[in-house]
Amino acid sequence: MPTTPLVLVRPPSPRLAEGELTHLDRVPVDPALAREQWQGYVAAFTARGWDVVEVEEAPEHADGVFVEDTVVVFDRLAVLTSPGAESRRGEVSGTEAALRRLAADGVDLEVVRITEPGHLDGGDVLKVGDVVYVGRGGRTDDEGIRQLTAYVEPLGRRVVVVPVAKVLHLKSGVTALPDGTVVGYEPLVDDPGAFPSFLPVPEEHGTAVVDLGGGAVIMSADAPRTAELYRSRGLEVVTVPISEFEALEGCVTCLSVRVR
């Protein structure tokens, strides 16, 4: 069985600028710059020893690059989602195909799914130790949460439901540092008190981090004060420009799924 950490990504569609928007006004998005930024993002993982697995490109899906929304991985269990936006439901099949290929290549994975009438976006799921915070909002509903709970409680995980109204997904507002501290830009967090350890950050685009392992995190280059805050806590911070994805309510977490 492969032991190198794996990360799933999907190249951006040339139709990226047509992606769904909920809380932001539409602004011009440069597909060529988006691809360049995506390549820089992927390079940050390869530089850290991650094996990158590309989900097959899906030009017809404007939001397909936000692969996080299509699957949530808990150890060896991969839960395919049922996206809340109808336009995004076709994205899941490509992610499933990539996971099936990994399993055929020896990666120990069990693949299950959220089914209709339930809806759940991976961006609404934040794992902190054994606690699974799930945002109930515009893309994730009670039935989707019920099905996820049935999958993960037997694994010893505890699901905690939190409200999401100010941002698109839970992880648009909060993520977690490697030590389990939940971080977020407080004006965009519906209930900071839902998290036992919450650290407010000074910039909106500083809310999202991805754990690269070895005490390093990747985050947006558009939050320099927040980067310094994280460095003061002993983290190595890798910053990448992702402006074209932020214009579409995306962040560094949306662009990948880690498979341990």
Q: Which tens digit of pLDDT belongs to each residue from 87-142?
A: 999 999 999 999 999 999 999 999 999 999 999 999 999 999 999 999 999 899 99
The reply to whether 211 sits in an annotated binding site is no
> For 200-242, how does the pLDDT look when each residue is reduced to its tens digit (9 = 90+)?
999 999 999 999 999 999 999 999 999 999 999 999 999 999 9
In tens, the pLDDT along 27-79 reads 899 999 999 999 999 999 999 999 999 999 999 999 999 999 999 999 999 99
- Rounded to whole angstroms, what are the CA distances from 77 to 24, 169, 173? 34, 22, 25
Q: Which two tokens stand for residue 227?
A: 């980067």
Give the model's pLDDT for residue 1: 44
Has 233 been labeled as part of a binding site? no
Q: Which CATH architecture has domain 6-259?
A: 5-stranded Propeller (3.75)
Confidence check: pLDDT of 84 > 60: yes
139 annotated to a ligand binding site:
yes
Q: Are strands 110-113 and 125-128 parallel, antiparallel or unpaired?
A: unpaired
Amino acid making up residue 109: L
pLDDT at 260 > cutoff 80: no
Sign of torsion over alpha carbons 183, 227, 168, 200: positive
Instruction: Give me the pLDDT at residue 159, please.
Output: 98
pLDDT at site 213: 95
Q: Whole-model pTM?
A: 0.96
The yes-or-no verdict on residue 12 having pLDDT over 50 is yes
Residue 21 labeled ligand binder: yes
pLDDT tops 90 at residue 25: no
The string of pLDDT tens digits covering residues 182-211 is 999 999 999 999 999 999 999 999 999 999
Q: CA–CA separation, 116 vs 94, rounded Å?
A: 18
Q: For position 175, what pLDDT does the model report? A: 98
Structure-block tokens of residue 118: 């339930």
Residues designated catalytic? 169, 254
> Any binding-site annotation on 248?
yes
What pLDDT is attached to residue 24? 85
pLDDT at 184: 98
The whole-angstrom separation of Cα 127 and Cα 173 is 14
The confidence score (pLDDT) of residue 186 equals 97
